Amino acid sequence: MAAAGRSPEAGLSGQRSIPGWKQHIALQLKHRDRVQKARYKHVIQSYNRLLERSSLLRHITENLQIEPAESSALSSPELGQCIGIEDMKRIHQEKIQGMQKKCGELAYEIIEKQEIVKEKEGILEEQINSMLDMEDQLQTWMNKQFRWRNLVGAQEQVNLELKRGYDELLATQRRKESELREGEDFEQSCLKEILALKNHRAAVQNEINDRIKQKNLQRELERVKKARVAVHLARRTEEPDGAAKSSDEHAAKVDVPKKLQRCHRSSSTLETRPSSFHGFFKVFANKPRSKSISSFSEERYQPLPICVLSRVPSRALCILDTFESEVNAVKFSPNSKLLATGGAGRNIELWDIGGGSMQSLQKFEGSNSTITSVEFDPTGNYILAASYERAAHLWNINCTLPKDSLTGHTGKVTAAKFTSMLHRAVTCSLDRTVKEWDLNRGACLNTISVPSYCSDVVCADYHIISGHHDGKIRFWDSRTKQCVHDIRLHGKITSLNINYNVTQLLSCTRDDELNVIDLRMSRVCLNSKVFRADGFKCGCDWTKAIFSPDGSYVMAGSSDGTLFIWNVNSGKLEKSLNEHHKSSVNAVAWSLSGEFVASADRGKKAILWSEF
């Protein structure tokens, strides 16, 4: 019996193992039976109770059919029957009909419950299938999770290796930078020694030349003394003086260099204003800046060293988006190692760009409104900034507070620039004035009234060039406060920039084009020198455009954040950079070394660019 009571599965387990999928199906069926039994147990119980009630009613109806016969037997006159037989039949018949009706209702209810049970079974089957699908998906996701965890572990190992390599490269870079600094120091010391040696050799050679010149002069005098000259007796007394005079003149001609024998132009010739703008710029361009002659002497800045070939930027070295507000102005120092930024944050921030990164050095405070322009003086020791508080501020880079504030404008100051003369600056404002300042005293020297709002200004010797909202560029003589000439363009002037040789002027206008003006020819260059590009849009009234240090390229930022660079010689678009800026570019700057480019936008972001 024990052997007969064993299940077939138990019997087969001794011979071979049951496959896993069969076990899984059996377990699922058992699970479904348990779930269905638990959910529909009360329905089955209700059904059983209804069956019991129906059987009870059937038994009662059978008894009622028997009771009339018994009641007829009992209905004798001696029992004093009060109710007739017909009435009792009617009553019992009504009860029977009521119970049959009740049984019909219960049967209909049973049928409805059976339909509900079938629907529930269908829903249950769907849920079971859905549960099985979800279990399969869960298993799939668990497998994927396991694979991704393995990949993450492998990537972490790769990252650790890369981090070690980066640390090694960083240490190597720092070591190379220290070696580079040592090499630069050694180069400077060698250069000083070479210069000293050359100066010494030049002094020795000058002494040798002087001795040779004296020997030649003595030889010539000896030759003159030995020469026999026939003279009249009446003029014998005059010969010595005449001979001495001739010898003195000859010696003077020997000693005096030929370039000193040429006559200089008088100062009055240069101070006379030319009859035409063309002639004025011709004189101005041909005149050497270091040998200019005027009615009074002025100290000037020494010429700055500049690169021979500028590099066109191609990638972002450093991206800063930690500014509290938009940036309106950027400027490199003359040595191309520092960068100054200013904007709506009211402060000037100084950055160290050594190694291709931007490290904050200090902030210059003192302005109570938005900064519109930033400028380094040619020595790199001072910073001049214009602001919306109707003033310009001058800082020494070693002090965070202003050295002086140039007040006197009645409107927003849009630009402030150093001139080529020491301790001089020029500012322009929306109050339609241009002012020249003495920075030693902080006093206004000249005020020039202009007919339109002034957006930007540049300087060239004694001449001031201003750009205006009426679309005109005006050229002013600061000594006479008179407009020498003006040039009309097609839109509002947003910025001006002059190249290093003071031969070309770049302007940016709101009609989405850049124009180059040849200061030697007094005309806007041909169409090849008017720079446009698809997608270039001037974003605001203070958008800046600049020359490269060597004058070979011009650059400006667009309203969509793209930087456009054109070749000045060919007039074609050289490159466009549209990777990082997402809002209008307000200002751009090109370092004098030609290596770096900086750009700033209205989205509180500044980027340092380079070629490599």
Pairwise CA distance, residues 241 & 228, whole Å: 16
Query: Averaged over 488-509, what is the pLDDT?
Result: 90
pLDDT of residue 288: 40
CATH label of the domain that carries residue 588: 2.130.10.10
Pairing of strands 606-610, 596-601: antiparallel
pLDDT of residue 465: 94
pLDDT of residue 413: 94
**What's this model's pTM, rounded to 2 decimal places?**
0.53
Query: Averaged over 100-128, what is the pLDDT?
Result: 87
Q: Which pairs with CB-CB distance under 8 Å and at least 24 residues apart come from 420-423?
A: 420/289, 420/300, 420/301, 420/459, 420/460, 420/461, 421/298, 421/299, 421/300, 421/301, 422/298, 422/299, 422/300, 422/301
Q: Which of 127-136, 155-164, 264-273, 285-294 has the lowest mean pLDDT?
A: 264-273
pLDDT of residue 83: 55
In a domain? residue 306: no
State residue 328 phi and psi, 5-degree precision: -105, -20
Query: Averaged over 261-266, what is the pLDDT?
Result: 34
In a domain? residue 258: no
Q: Which of 244-253, 509-518, 524-533, 554-563 has the lowest mean pLDDT?
A: 244-253
pLDDT of residue 510: 92
Annotate 338-368 with b (16+ C-beta within 10 A) or e (fewer): bbbbbbbbbbbbbbebeeeebeeeeebebbe
In a domain? residue 177: no
pLDDT confidence tier of residue 529, bands split at 50, 70 and 90: confident
Tell whether the model's pLDDT for residue 246 goes beyond 50. Answer: no
Tell whether the model's pLDDT for residue 248 goes beyond 50. Answer: no
State residue 378 phi and psi, 5-degree precision: -60, -20
Pairwise CA distance, residues 26 & 19, whole Å: 11
Tell whether the model's pLDDT for residue 294 goes beyond 90. Answer: no
Tell whether the model's pLDDT for residue 16 goes beyond 60. Answer: no
Under 8 Å between Cβ of 484 and 476: yes
Picking from 163, 182, 214, the residue at the C-terminal end of a domain is: 163
pLDDT of residue 298: 56
pLDDT of residue 146: 93
HEC sequence for 78-147: HHCCCCCHHHHHHHHHHHHHHHHHHHHHHHHHHHHHHHHHHHHHHHHHHHHHHHHHHHHHHHHHHHHHHH
Chain position carrying tokens 């500014």: 323
pLDDT confidence tier of residue 302, bands split at 50, 70 and 90: low
Give me 33's structure tokens.
Answer: 């039976």
In a domain? residue 249: no
Query: Averaged over 530-545, what is the pLDDT?
Result: 90
User: How high is the mean pLDDT of the chain?
Assistant: 79
Tell whether the model's pLDDT for residue 509 goes beyond 90. Answer: yes
The strand pairing partners of 477, in sequence order, are: 463, 482
Give me 379's structure tokens.
Answer: 């020595």
Residue numbers of the domain that contains 146 = 31-72+86-163
Q: Which of 295-299, 435-439, 450-454 has the lowest mean pLDDT?
A: 295-299
In a domain? residue 266: no
Picking from 131, 148, 163, the residue at the C-terminal end of a domain is: 163
In a domain? residue 21: no
pLDDT confidence tier of residue 48, bands split at 50, 70 and 90: confident
Tell whether the model's pLDDT for residue 269 goes beyond 50. Answer: no
In a domain? residue 234: no
Give me 130's structure tokens.
Answer: 């859905």
pLDDT confidence tier of residue 329, bands split at 50, 70 and 90: very high
Q: Which amino acid makes up residue 367? A: S
Picking from 129, 163, 197, the residue at the C-terminal end of a domain is: 163
Under 8 Å between Cβ of 373 and 393: no
Closest C-alpha to 217, from 176, 271, 170, 255: 255
Pairwise CA distance, residues 384 & 367, whole Å: 12
pLDDT of residue 57: 76
Tell whether the model's pLDDT for residue 111 goes beyond 90. Answer: no
Query: Averaged over 554-577, what is the pLDDT?
Result: 92
Higher pLDDT, 262 or 35: 35
Distance (Å) of CA 219 to CA 208, 216, 225, 599: 16, 5, 10, 70
Pairwise CA distance, residues 556 & 566, whole Å: 9
State residue 568 phi and psi, 5-degree precision: -70, -40
pLDDT of residue 342: 92
Percent of the chain with pLDDT over 70: 79
Higher pLDDT, 465 or 282: 465
Q: Domain count for the chain, please give it.
A: 2
pLDDT of residue 10: 44
Residue 196: how many other CB atoms lie within 10 Å: 10
Q: What is the pLDDT of residues 410-427, one digit of tens each?
A: 999 999 999 988 889 999
pLDDT of residue 7: 46
In a domain? residue 284: no
Higher pLDDT, 58 or 531: 531
Q: What is the pLDDT of residues 168-218, one digit of tens each?
A: 999 999 999 999 989 988 988 888 888 788 778 878 877 887 788 888 888
Q: How large is the angle between the packed helices 20-39 and 41-74, nearest 10 degrees?
A: 40
HEC sequence for 327-385: EEEEEECCCCCEEEEEECCCCEEEEECHHHCCEEEEEECCCCCCEEEEEECCCCCEEEE
Pairwise CA distance, residues 395 & 374, whole Å: 11
Q: Which of 9-18, 124-133, 317-326 has the lowest mean pLDDT?
A: 9-18
pLDDT of residue 383: 95
